[in-house]
Structure 1
């Protein structure tokens, strides 16, 4: 345990944990792996590294999620039709409740922060 949870070499770290196939696949077989930096009580907040191979799937973001993409290429398309092109260096805040599809064109790597804030009902 550290007073400041951290991982070295987050952009290139190779000792990732297999997180399985990406759920809600539309095409392809995207596979995820990653490494946690921190999980709070009840898994809130959650901070880590996420890597995902090519494919396309539906997604719904449960809580505000900040992502900083350091490798790969993808397209996120909201249910309203907005398109977000992802390339290395892209930073995105997906608000709680954001829904749409993700198409990974080249294996993605990001660092993420899944906050406590849920979508308002």
Structure 2
């Protein structure tokens, strides 16, 4: 089933946290202030992005060998939902707690802390730094 952000109460510029939901196979969207899930989507675009990984959450994954939600892409909701990953210099971000301590560039494996824009789609995160 295709999920859509149109049914969510998102406003332009609203700060949100995006995490991949392993069981639903889509992205969960959380209000950054309350950290409560406000919806799910297959695709979303955010601006002024920060890539966040909780060190204690990652350590728990490594200790228990069981995944938990501890990594987020944080940013401001953008109504620019028609932007494509083929537009401009877009790169893929990657995070796997068993292999990397933080989000990294998929090709260079260099850590990523922030970006101007991120497109979350098809279970992957793409980013662009202007």
TM-score, length basis structure 1: 0.30
Structure 1 or 2: more helix by fraction: 2
